[in-house]
Amino acid sequence: MSATILVNHPLITHRLEFTLRLAANTMMQHLGLNDQNINLLLTTDPELAELNQTFRKKSGPTNVLSFPFQSTESFLLPDNLEELGEIAISVDTAIRESQDLKIRLQDRLYWLIAHGLLHLTGYDHERSAQEANDMSKSEQELINRVTKLRSDHMTHLAINVDHVATIRQARGITEPDPVTAAAICELAGAEGIVVHLREDRRHIQDRDVTLLKETVQTKLNLEMGAAKDIINFALNLKPDMVTLVPEKRQELTTEGGLDIVKQKKKIAKTIEKMTAKNIPVSLFVDPSPTHMKIAAEIGATFVELHTGRYADATDEIMMDHEFELINTAAEAASSYGLRVNAGHGLNYTNVQRIAAIDVVEELSIGHAIISRSVFSGLEQAVRDMAALIRPYSHLRYDGS
């Protein structure tokens, strides 16, 4: 699966081109187009008008045109039989439309790519109202896969505030409040808030998650085991995403990744339920290529690579070995079209190598930040961590 992008428009920067390629690949993965390629042309109104005239005998530009390769009327000949087709988008029209709709150009381009892709797979909104409705639903699903969760290329910092709730529960009173902590984390620059609603409710309570759903401005990631009650809670609450984790009552913290080989069916079912409600699912897994393959097969949007063994390594050789496992698994996940997060045990001394892995989008960090906040204040602790993570993002995407 790959999208080849041809740019013929001055406003499409290298950065935006990268984002759009990632988005197109993610959408293709979601549609099961793993063996297919598309060419995506981002061009001007005059070129779209010319294509419109040549192939559809219509005058003037339009926003998007799709050319399936089964048709003989392609404006570029296919390189091989696995080509799905070509999509031509007028960036000039997309700019006007984004201004009219008061949305970012990037978001309009996502929609146009989704629309073009669905046409290539056989959808046609002009055939019937039912088909128009189905197509519109599928467009929304594809767009949910690529938006809201990521608005740029920086490695994101998502902060787990469970430990604030642990302190509260130790006294059984109302402070400190993890909801307040989440707001401070966001003000200090966190791009997401994570909470784990455990079956035994040892720290985070239902009330916390319900309030966070209302107050989090960035993105709420609900960590959870695949137990019936918690699944129903998540389906009702609709967080921005869920991360499925294994859960044992006796453990101090999540001990290992999900066993998605043994539990494939159960996890696939949970993903299906979440997907039906448009809730993207991340699977917390140990860094092995087999796990990545299964995660992609059962429809996960993300994997969160378990960095615990890397963090716990007691010498450099072990640490290098664990790092290589994470790096290889991250590449494998990305090649299957999965989006990649990482977390567990990351701290101010070990985070930078993980942040520098090309395909890692977001790090989920709790204990180290909340611990430091006792001495330096929460805002400072968040800023210190963000400062360690961000330089790597810039190195990566500036091409230097």
Which residues are at the interface with ligand PXP (CB under 6 A)?
A: 160, 162, 196, 223, 243, 245, 253-254, 284, 304, 343-346, 364-368
Q: What crossing angle do the helices spanning 367-376 and 378-397 adopt, rounded to 10°? A: 130
Active site residues: 196, 223, 344
Gap between the Cα atoms of 231 and 225, Å rounded:
8
Gap between the Cα atoms of 350 and 174, Å rounded:
33
CB-nearer residue toward ligand PXP: 108 or 156: 156
**Angle ∠(278,232,178) on CA atoms, nearest 5:** 90
Least CB distance to ligand PXP at residue 33 (A): 30
Least CB distance to ligand PXP at residue 282 (A): 9
Cβ-closest residue to ligand PXP? 366
* DSSP 8-class letter at 246: -
Least CB distance to ligand PXP at residue 159 (A): 9
Least CB distance to ligand PXP at residue 86 (A): 40
Calculate the alpha carbon distances from 268 to 97, 247, 295 in Å. Answer: 38, 17, 9
CB-nearer residue toward ligand PXP: 25 or 341: 341
Instruction: Decide if 110 contacts 145 (C-beta within 8 A).
Output: no
CB-nearer residue toward ligand PXP: 96 or 353: 353
Least CB distance to ligand PXP at residue 309 (A): 12
CB-nearer residue toward ligand PXP: 118 or 242: 242
CB-nearer residue toward ligand PXP: 109 or 224: 224
Gap between the Cα atoms of 13 and 11, Å rounded:
6
Short-list 281, 342, 338, CA closest to 308: 342
Residue 367 falls in which region: left (phi positive, over 0), alpha (psi -120 to 50) or beta: alpha
> Which strands make up the sheet holding 64-68, listed edge to edge?
2-7, 37-43, 83-90, 64-68
